[in-house]
Copies of this chain bind each other. A is one copy, B any other.
Amino acid sequence: MNTTQRTDQQTSADRRRRELLEAADRVVLRDGPHASMNAIAAEAGITKPILYRHFGDKGGLYAALAVRHTDALLASLRAALDAPAERRQRVESTLDTYLAAIEARPQVYRFLMHPAEGAGTPGDQSEQGFDVGRHSAPLLRRMGEELAQVIEERLDVGPGTQQLARVWGHGIVGMMHAAGDWWLGERPCPREELVRTLADLLWGRLAEAGDKAGGPGF
């Protein structure tokens, strides 16, 4: 008797939820990592308590937002990872996919990774921001775990593969993230060069390189 009601309500609530998320997205895209609940509510044309009814608390809204973007990014990454090509080529295109994503929407990226980085003027009060440990970490963690799974599934590295895959997954994601963060800030080189250099690093060129004359070597 109430199944249609249920579904109607569900979809109605879901639509609201999506609208709110899109509004939040817009305000994040515009205002960068500040984005107070008030601002988001205003952008959505409503007031704070509704946001809280839908998302519980700020973490909930943030998590929902992060899930959206992370899902999209992960889909792209999976596509790059699954492409039919040489391993080196696949690694490069995966790196490139990630870097292209953060390059395309630096605001969103900064919001996801470094929330509450605003606080430009000294009088700016808007510095009480999100927490990061509980949200950006999960984002990176999720990428790390996904990559670990891919590595474990496809790579043959003898015994202890599972442990090794997870270490490598998180390590590679961290490498990608840190290098991308730095690159995004300084733009010292075109993207392809960064991709190539990182792939070189993963390909063991650090071990192969010779010592420079005069020093103790590295």
A82 at the interface (CB under 8 A from B): yes
Query: With the chains together, A180 CA to B194 CA distance in Å?
Result: 24
Q: Which of A2-10, A64-72, A133-141 contacts B (4 or more CB under 8 A)?
A: A133-141
The residues in A between 51 and 74 inclusive whose CB is less than 8 angstroms from any CB of B are 57, 59
Q: Which of A14-22, A23-31, A38-46, A202-210 contacts B (4 or more CB under 8 A)?
A: A202-210
Partner of A164, one of B88, B110, B181, B197: B197
Report the nearest B residue to A202, measured CB to CB. Answer: B206
A153 at the interface (CB under 8 A from B): yes
**Contact at B202–A156, with CB atoms within 8 Å?**
no
**Contact at A173–B163, with CB atoms within 8 Å?**
no
Give A60 Cβ to nearest chain B Cβ, in Å. Answer: 11
A13 at the interface (CB under 8 A from B): no
**Contact at A131–B156, with CB atoms within 8 Å?**
no
Partner of A211, one of B133, B154, B168: B154
Report the nearest B residue to A197, measured CB to CB. Answer: B167
Residues of B within 8 A of A166 (CB): 182, 188
What 1/0 mask marks residues of chain A from 179 to 217 whose CB sits below 8 Å from any chain B CB?
101110000110001100110111111111111110111
Query: With the chains together, A189 CA to B154 CA distance in Å?
Result: 22
Nearest 9 Cβ contacts at the A-B interface: A204-B204, A174-B178, A117-B133, A114-B133, A128-B128, A154-B218, A175-B175, A171-B179, A170-B182
With A129-B131, A156-B211, A164-B197 already in contact, 4 other A-B pairs whose C-beta atoms are closer than 8 Å? A115-B133, A168-B201, A202-B206, A204-B208
Cβ contacts A to B, 22 pairs, < 8 Å: A114-B131, A114-B133, A118-B131, A140-B178, A155-B209, A155-B218, A156-B210, A157-B205, A164-B197, A167-B194, A167-B197, A167-B198, A167-B201, A168-B201, A168-B206, A171-B175, A174-B177, A174-B179, A203-B204, A204-B205, A204-B206, A204-B207
